[in-house]
Amino acid sequence: MIGKKLFIELNEGNVSYRDKNRNLVSYSLDEFNTEYINIKNKNLYVILTGEEILIKIIKIPKVRKDKLHSIVKQELVYIFKNIDNILFNYDVYKDCGSTLEVLVFCLKWNKDNFLKKWIDTGNSLKAIYPIQFYLFDVLKKKTKINNHIIVFYYRYKIYLLKCENSKIIQTGILRNLNSNEIKDSINEFILRESLKECVYQPEIFFINFPYKKVKKEISVYYKCKDIK
């Protein structure tokens, strides 16, 4: 089963994956659409990087689990009108008895043609993960995440996650900033009001974060920990 899994990274205009010899293979999207890709009969897991995630909390009538997806989808159609180019997932934040408070995660997606080539050659699409969620799921297996801020660096971008009650409730991405701007942006993110409540003294997890001076200055005010 492991041999049938293939993780594909979609990073803005590039596609990357490891071939059967574990060598990293990369294409631009234009190259990918014209090259012969010798990948067949795989279970595909697509990891998206550099994508902003919109998080909304909605209140809906309490329904059975198998009805939840259609109710959330209806709410998104009401909010956005057209959701053809929107990927979404959701997580029940709170059971209020007769109603549910649901966290809904949305991102824009217009690359169906990119996936069609893989699926047409006998592969099966199993999941599409924003890298924020992929890392969160991996991290949960290593350490307990409750009320935390997660700061991680990947491909010249800084990703920010705010977690409450072991759920992601806010995200952000920092691009092309100097050290002072990075420090100010992280502090602003920490202090930003949460969807449901404020986290006044969160512990901050840093992952692959190269700005040591920024981390040192932030650690004066918050408990910080490096995660490997």
Q: Which of these, 153, 159, 162, lies nearest to 207 by C-alpha position? A: 153
Structure tokens at 192: 């930003």
Q: Is residue 134 part of a domain?
A: no
| Structural domain span for residue 84 | 53-108
Instruction: Say whether both 190 and 146 belong to one domain.
Output: yes
Would you give the end-to-end CA distance of the chain in angstroms?
27
Number of domains the chain contains: 3
Q: Tell me what the mean pLDDT of segment 78-88 comes to.
A: 87
Instruction: Say whether both 122 and 200 belong to one domain.
Output: no
Residue 1 has pLDDT above 50, yes or no: no
Instruction: Say whether both 96 and 119 belong to one domain.
Output: no
Q: Tell me what the mean pLDDT of segment 172-193 comes to.
A: 92
Instruction: Say whether both 98 and 202 belong to one domain.
Output: no
What is the percentage of the chain residues whose pLDDT exceeds 70?
89
Model confidence pTM above 0.75: yes
Place of tokens 């099966």: 124
Between 8 and 109, the higher pLDDT residue? 8
The mean pLDDT of the chain is 85
Q: How many CB atoms lie within 10 A of CB 97?
A: 6
The alpha helices in the chain, defined as continuous H runs, are 29-34, 65-80, 112-120, 131-140, 179-191, 212-218
- Write out pLDDT tens, residues 3-40: 688 888 888 778 888 877 888 888 887 776 666 566 67
